[in-house]
Amino acid sequence: MTNFQQIKSVINKRKRIIFIFGLLSGFFLVFFYIFYQLPNPYKLKDFQTTPLSTQILDRNGKLLYDIYKEQNRTSIQLKNIPKFVSEATIAIEDKDFYKHGGISFFSGMLRAFKDSLLTGRVQGGSTLTQQLIKTSLLTSERTIRRKIREIILAMMTEKIYGKDEILEMYLNQVPYGGAAYGIEQASLLYFNKPAKELNLPEAAFLAGLPQAPSLYSPYLNPKLSFSRKNTVLKKMFDQKYIDKKTYDKAISQKLDIRPPKNIIKAPHFVFYIKKLLEEKYGVETVEVGGLKVTTTLDLDIQEAAEKTLKEELEKVEDLNISNGAVLVTRPPTGEILAMIGSVDYFATGSGAFNVVTAERQPGSSIKPINYAIGIDRKLVTAATVFIDSPTCFSASGQPKGYCPVNYDGKFHGPQALRFSLGNSFNIPAVKMLAFNGVKEFVASSSAFGITSFKDPKNYGLALTLGGGEVKMTEMAQAFSSFANRGKVKKLTEILKVEDKLGKILYKFSDPNYVKDIKKPMTAPSSLSISGKNAISPETAFIISHILLDDNARSQSFGTGSYLSVSGHAVSVKTGTTDDKRDNWTIGYTPNFLTAVWVGNNDNSPMNPWLTSGVSGAAPIWNKVIAARQDLNIL
């Protein structure tokens, strides 16, 4: 063998050694990465680390909603519950449960792929055993490492426990929504009965919850919840757990869902926050991930507003006003300080409906935006005279002559813009929109934070009288432009999000943010408010000054009405739809904005005697905003 061949042989040996060493090192690293601190599946039966659910706090750390604190887990044996309880769970979650060894590559993964295509959401394809492991021993992070560990632990669990033991542990440990962990507590929460007394439709309903307890909540999404129950029953029929007669009877049988326990503060706001969190972090993380969420809400302001709304609505029952909503914000930062979506969340019927985030017609409360656009485009000034006389319009977008009338049925002759807006006369407002153009108004409204207005072709000149639906949240954003000297501030709801280890996932940052809003605050300057201008500071000042001018509105509302707050300059606008279905009042100072709506959730009209913009929402608005004098934040 030549020297060259010897050298080549030595090099090849070294290469093989390096390759083998590298392979072994890689294998060791992968092994260490997967198996380091792998949880012990023997702890499943003696499980102490219960899943942690999200804590939602107000800005001062006061508890609004804490599932974990109220969690009550009661163990129950499989033999003590009806057979169809476990059958319903297997049918919807893992039809091959008694056939596989902990994982089901074919049926589970195939089902996940199919569901992902149909629903548009990524599905895990996990077996019941994997779901038990994920809920009890692992975190909800979506990583390859966690999935591999889940599969390994599932296979180990199947070797340690029998199928019935695994099913029993699953039924005792998975979250069913709210404070309910395990089938026994879920049965008590939703039906006020132990699990052994459940009937088939009730069992099917509960079996459908664990996959996404918030999504399928009967309190948040009742239609989707009952649809899910029917899906479970269909699965049971397809898999021959029940016959056709039983299936038909169960499908038609109504459920008597128990109203939620009143253990939630600011419930409309809480579930508004929960939805936002689920969209950002995923349903599973919110349900069992132990997030700690500090919100912008001030519970003292919230509870005072709730009390005022309830008391004032009781006074106007004879006007056929059954519901109301209140939104309180801080314009320079967009922080939501209070949100009441309906007068009583826990009432039967539609109490859980959140009017604050629903689309309703704003009536004349939209007029300041219309005039602001005209002033900003230099089409008019506060002194421009409008002739308030009988007028019919045939502008583009109007299918026929449009002849609006004023709220009081009268015409008032020449009126300066200041008095036209202050008194909320309709004819001048329609003329202003005709000057602006509907297309320009719809385009400009997006700069004010209003996104509900879509195609201008869908609207006519009645848009300035509230002929298009908007959300109260959008109106608060729009009016923030007047309070912020022209700059619109998007609403914000969350100050900080921490994970279960205290790591900060999100923190709100704004130069105008102050933790304690009860301390005296100076009005922020327009320079200190970030964001784009919807209008110029000059236009914002003019609109705000008109809306606080008690003399400018005296012809329609008198002086010293509910639109005035003694000792304070507060800008305010009312709005009532022609059909008396919606009544609004929105008013603000540089640091405090309150929007109030009254009406009926079923959209039925209020009493025709509601003839003034100050007889419905205004008294509520006045008391809510006047109460803030004690907090020195007006």
The answer, yes or no, to whether residue 171 has pLDDT greater than 70, is yes
The pLDDT confidence band at residue 119, using thresholds 50, 70 and 90, is very low
pLDDT at site 106: 57
Question: How far is CA 301 from each of CA 55, 323, 493, 562, rounded to the nearest angstrom?
Answer: 20, 19, 15, 20
The answer, yes or no, to whether residue 74 has pLDDT greater than 80, is no
Model confidence pLDDT, tens digit, residues 482-514: 999 999 999 999 999 998 778 899 999 998 898
pLDDT at site 574: 94
pLDDT at site 342: 94
Handedness of CA 56, 61, 66, 68 (dihedral sign): positive
CA-based nearest residue to 241, from 209, 203, 290, 215: 203
pLDDT at site 437: 95
Report which of residues 138 and 207 the model is more confident about: 207
Which ranges of 437-471 does DSSP label H, i.e. alpha helix?
438-445
Question: How far is CA 170 from each of CA 45, 78, 201, 441, rounded to the nearest angstrom?
Answer: 11, 10, 20, 57
Question: 369: burial class by Cβ within 10 Å (0-12, 13-18, 19+)?
Answer: buried
Highest mean pLDDT among 92-101, 176-185, 226-235: 226-235
The pLDDT confidence band at residue 348, using thresholds 50, 70 and 90, is low
Q: Write down the residue that tokens 């909800």 correspond to.
A: 140
Average pLDDT, the chain: 85
Residue 58 and residue 50: Cα distance in Å, rounded? 24
The answer, yes or no, to whether residue 631 has pLDDT greater than 50, is no
Give me the mean pLDDT over the 503-527 stretch. Answer: 83
The pLDDT confidence band at residue 534, using thresholds 50, 70 and 90, is very high
Model confidence pLDDT, tens digit, residues 408-453: 889 999 999 999 999 999 999 999 999 999 999 999 999 999 999 9
Residue 624: both structure tokens together: 């809510």
Q: Write down the residue that tokens 């750390």 correspond to.
A: 61
The answer, yes or no, to whether residue 81 has pLDDT greater than 60, is yes
User: For residues 465, 470, 472 and 478, what is the CA-based torsion angle, rounded to 10 degrees?
Assistant: -80
Query: DSSP labels for 167-217?
Result: HHHHHHHSEEETTEESHHHHHHHHHSS-GGG--HHHHHHHHTSTT-TTTT-
pLDDT at site 113: 45
Task: Enumerate the domain spans of the chain.
Answer: 74-257, 300-631
Question: How far is CA 451 from each of CA 275, 396, 468, 485, rounded to the nearest angstrom?
Answer: 20, 22, 11, 21
CA-based nearest residue to 171, from 184, 187, 157: 184
Report which of residues 629 and 134 the model is more confident about: 134
Give me the mean pLDDT over the 187-207 stretch. Answer: 93
pLDDT at site 489: 95
CA-based nearest residue to 463, from 444, 445, 438: 438
Model confidence pLDDT, tens digit, residues 292-328: 999 999 999 999 999 999 999 998 888 888 899 999 9
Residue 371 and residue 353: Cα distance in Å, rounded? 32
CB 258 within 8 A of CB 191: yes
Residue 633 and residue 376: Cα distance in Å, rounded? 29
Give me the mean pLDDT over the 40-64 stretch. Answer: 73
Q: Are strands 582-589 and 359-360 parallel, antiparallel or unpaired?
A: unpaired
Question: Which segment of 109-113, 203-207, 566-570 scores lowest on mean pLDDT?
Answer: 109-113
Single-letter amino acid code for the residue at 274: K
Which H helix or E strand runs over 337?
A: strand 335-340
Question: Which segment of 235-244, 273-282, 456-465, 517-526 scores lowest on mean pLDDT?
Answer: 517-526
pTM comes to 0.70
Domain 300-631 in the same topology as domain 74-257: no
Q: Cβ neighbours of residue 375 under 8 Å, at least 6 residues apart?
A: 381, 382, 417, 535, 539, 542, 543
Q: Establish how many alpha carbons lie within 13 A of residue 84's alpha carbon, considering only the half-sphere containing its beta carbon.
A: 22
pLDDT at site 439: 94
The answer, yes or no, to whether residue 630 has pLDDT greater than 50, is no
pLDDT at site 3: 63
The pLDDT confidence band at residue 152, using thresholds 50, 70 and 90, is confident
Give me the mean pLDDT over the 339-358 stretch. Answer: 86
Which H helix or E strand runs over 281?
A: helix 267-281
Please tell us whether the domain made up of 74-257 is placed in CATH 1.10.3810.10: yes
Residue 268 and residue 260: Cα distance in Å, rounded? 13
CB 95 within 8 A of CB 143: no
The pLDDT confidence band at residue 290, using thresholds 50, 70 and 90, is confident
Superfamily of domain 300-631: DD-peptidase/beta-lactamase superfamily (3.40.710.10)
The answer, yes or no, to whether residue 349 has pLDDT greater than 50, is yes
Give me the mean pLDDT over the 228-256 stretch. Answer: 94
pLDDT at site 356: 96
DSSP state of 535: S
The answer, yes or no, to whether residue 120 has pLDDT greater than 70, is no
Question: How far is CA 527 from each of CA 330, 520, 531, 541, 577, rounded to the nearest angstrom?
Answer: 17, 20, 10, 15, 37
Angle at 249 between CA 244 and CA 251, to 5 degrees: 95
